[in-house]
A and B are shown apart, each in its own frame.
Chain A
């Protein structure tokens, strides 16, 4: 297992290509055909385009607060290629590319960040949990789904995500501890993008890295260059085979950088330098993979045109979200219980009386 060759206690990192797309480790390079590589690159490109458009809609005042994914697309593309329809995605809130791979639509994403709960009802995507805002709490749900899969003898794997800040929450450790005891088929990913809003990871933990936390819970852990698509792909492939074979859970720390703000309400210039940002820019997963493709004579046809096509399609999805039926009073009450208690019916009816009074007053 590759996990054994990259001991997090020695702070080793799995990396396959360098920032210029040169192969550092030929033996580890996954055997993927050109078509698959182009598909992976396009997935990253689509995610980036959609993400940037979301930020732009927010800036135009057509959408509310949005957490950008910029810079983390390689993790999403790699997970997206491994995760199957029957596998479970348990997101935090910065996993756009994986959600898209599972069949979540940009229309739903836009709807959610425009302030509608309907954006959490993924119509075409199976086994995707809603975005989870309370930091780290979703890790426990993944552990439970893992138990359920095992109990029901299903061939499914769970993909939960957390950020570097989330690893400080008790729920993170509790989830991994249960996972170790129960040997559940769960691949826990930490997207270590260096910041929990303004707090750098060095202020978050005194551990040598985040992958090493797996050691205490008796599960394999590995630190991976999260901006290297190939490294992420190999890590996920190994983890997937390991979990499916009934060996239990693994922890992947994907080292990356949140190029954008925490959310559109945040201003990173308050807490980090331009120099630091420029240093990380060199590792950007998209140009890096593109250089690899170019080095190996694999051409992406007319990328500019492709981006224009994506933009058109994404803008159509935004229009669909904007034209979603208006929010009704029933949307506030209708989903609280499977059978609505009388007391809620009464509150709704009372509110309608007020609405009528208001209408008559005009």
Chain B
């Protein structure tokens, strides 16, 4: 079947647009809205052309209020619609935090399953675009820490499409974080047909024997560059793309650590109390006796993401990943 599928070269932006297009076509209960999401097609043009195709009742601009975007979305989701809402930037999601943590995440449990919340909250995240404050943040740990929420982060156009379709089809609320730094940087052949990638499953991108590296989103590309450096140094790295932050795929991670005995986590967010700490807990709980070196986090500082001039210090670079790979392997 795979060979017969029609393929198109897509960026992550185009793949997300394509997933939204397929689902809007298929399911009349889906609505898409947010700030500048309608007429303009979003500040990153992710929803471009969708209002024209599906009309202003289904794809539209909301007034400027993130709490209202998410809170109203919850009402829609409880009454027959499947809203896909867009928040404009990572650092602008916090006005909606109250709705997410106090209601969106809890409604199914609170109503003992009477109400489902089939809702997707999309937003671009991460640094590396020389932006002003509040435009470069990676708040995945904040959202993954909320019981009742799923958190998904793709790293390629193919995964963006397949994971978003699964997120839209999930009857639970999903936060879908889009790596804006590589929105257009990666082009890939993606099937034009509908396909889905299950949530909660990590993917082994490269098999290796010396050390396991787990990353997600925009950091995958940086890790792949580091893997080249490792190869030149005769180090065999197993690279895993987490893809879903929560529910986290313990099995794939544990299995890999048992094989390599060494473990590195790469992520942009501040190091303390982040996804890296959770992954280390998994290493300890699931593969303690196999560990041959202390697990290492290669993550952001516990600081505000600096503005453009200071960002080079903060951003995780391939050489910094390689530096930690080498140190861990030589431990």
Contacts and interface: CB of A to CB of B under 8 A. Distances in A.
Given A135-B64, A170-B65, A344-B301, A332 B314 contact: yes
Given A166-B64, A333-B301, A197 B36 contact: yes
Given A117-B310, A327-B309, A198 B36 contact: yes
A205 B92 CA distance: 20
Nearest to B324: A354
A204 B64 contact: yes
Contacts of A361: 319
Contacts of A133: 91, 132-135
B94 to A, nearest CB: 8
Interface string A320-362: 0000000101011100100000011001100100100110010
B130 A64 contact: yes
B64 A117 contact: no
Contact size class for B? 35 or more
B302 A117 contact: no
A270 B39 CA distance: 8
Interface string A86-120: 00000000000000000000000000101111000
A39 B106 CA distance: 59
A199 B35 contact: yes
Contact of A203 (B63, B303, B304, B307): B63
A165 interface: yes
A270 B35 CA distance: 15
A112 B310 CA distance: 12
Nearest to B98: A170
Interface string A114-145: 11110000000000000001111000000000
B313 A332 contact: yes
B306 A354 contact: no
A169 interface: yes
Nearest to A333: B303
Given A332-B301, A344-B301, A196 B64 contact: yes
B192 interface: no
A296 B233 CA distance: 80
A116 B310 contact: yes
A115 B130 contact: yes
A68 to B, nearest CB: 14
Interface string B136-164: 00000000000000000000000000000
Contacts of A203: 61, 63
A134 B92 contact: yes
A199 B36 CA distance: 6
A151 interface: no
B308 interface: yes
Given A133-B134, A358-B319, A198 B307 contact: no
Contacts of B135: 133
B68 interface: yes
Q: Which of B36, B272, B320 has the most CB of A within 10 A?
A: B36
Interface in A45-98: 64-65
Given A133-B133, A197-B43, A332-B301, A64 B308 contact: yes
A359 to B, nearest CB: 11
B40 interface: yes
A136 B40 CA distance: 22
Given A166-B64, A170-B65, A344-B301, A65 B131 contact: yes
B271 interface: yes
Contacts of B170: none
A169 B65 contact: yes
A270 to B, nearest CB: 5
A168 interface: yes
Contacts of B94: 134
Contacts of A112: 307
A112 B130 CA distance: 12
B131 A169 contact: no
B40 A327 contact: no
A239 B304 CA distance: 38
B197 to A, nearest CB: 31
A198 B40 CA distance: 6
B310 A197 contact: no
B228 interface: no
A344 B132 contact: no
A324 to B, nearest CB: 9
B40 A329 contact: no
A115 B311 contact: yes
Contacts of B61: 198-199, 203
Contact of A114 (B271, B304, B309): B309
A136 B64 CA distance: 10
With most chain B CB atoms within 10 A of its CB, the pick from A166, A199, A204 is A199
A332 B40 contact: no
A199 B302 contact: no
B95 interface: yes
B307 A170 contact: no
A357 B321 CA distance: 12
Interface in B9-60: 35-36, 39-40, 43
B75 to A, nearest CB: 16
Interface in B63-90: 63-65, 67-68
B115 interface: no
A354 B299 CA distance: 13
Given A198-B36, A354-B323, A135 B309 contact: no
- In this complex, the member of B135, B303, B323 whose beta carbon has the largest number of chain A beta carbons within 10 angstroms is B303
A197 B35 contact: yes
B39 A271 contact: yes
A134 B313 contact: no
A327 B43 contact: no
A351 B313 contact: yes
A134 B309 contact: no
A265 B180 CA distance: 15
Interface of B: 35-36, 39-40, 43, 61, 63-65, 67-68, 91-92, 94-95, 130-135, 271-272, 301-304, 306-311, 313-314, 319-320, 323
Sorted nearest first, the 10 A-B pairs with minimum C-beta distance are A115-B308, A198-B40, A168-B63, A165-B64, A327-B309, A115-B309, A115-B307, A168-B64, A168-B65, A198-B36
